[in-house]
């Protein structure tokens, strides 16, 4: 039996509010764009975003995975995974990378 604390209840509520089709489509589209750009021409994409460094490489992988998880309407159950895969954090990373790649 699991005991719900205020913190876990708040996280559940946040994730429930983020499960709107438009936001899930945004997550999925941004994740597919980031993943597609990496697969299509990784060298050109890396040059445009300043290379795959220790900072932006793992951040891009994490953001793409988080976007796919949210875009496919999956909601993590455990509070730690809800924090790790919180979509708004991934939106910031993917937006930054995509803007840097196209501007």
Domain ranges of the chain: 21-102
Burial class (CB in 10 A: 0-12, 13-18, 19+), 89: middle
Token pair of 101 as six digits: 């790649």
Look at residue 86 and give its three-state secondary structure.
coil
Low-confidence residues of the chain: pLDDT under 50: none
pTM: 0.88
HSE-CB for 40 with a 13 A CA cutoff: 8
List pLDDT tens digits, range 69-86.
999 999 998 989 999 999
């Amino acid at each position: 039996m699991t005991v719900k604390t205020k913190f876990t209840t708040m996280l559940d509520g946040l994730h429930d509010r983020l499960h709107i089709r438009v936001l899930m489509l945004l997550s999925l589209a941004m994740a597919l764009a980031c993943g597609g750009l990496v697969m299509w021409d990784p060298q050109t994409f890396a040059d445009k975003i300043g290379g795959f460094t220790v900072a932006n490489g793992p951040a891009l992988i994490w953001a793409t995975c988080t976007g796919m998880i949210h875009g496919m309407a999956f909601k993590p159950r455990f509070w730690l995974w809800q924090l790790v895969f919180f979509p708004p954090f991934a939106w910031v990373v993917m937006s930054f990378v995509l803007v840097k790649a196209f501007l």
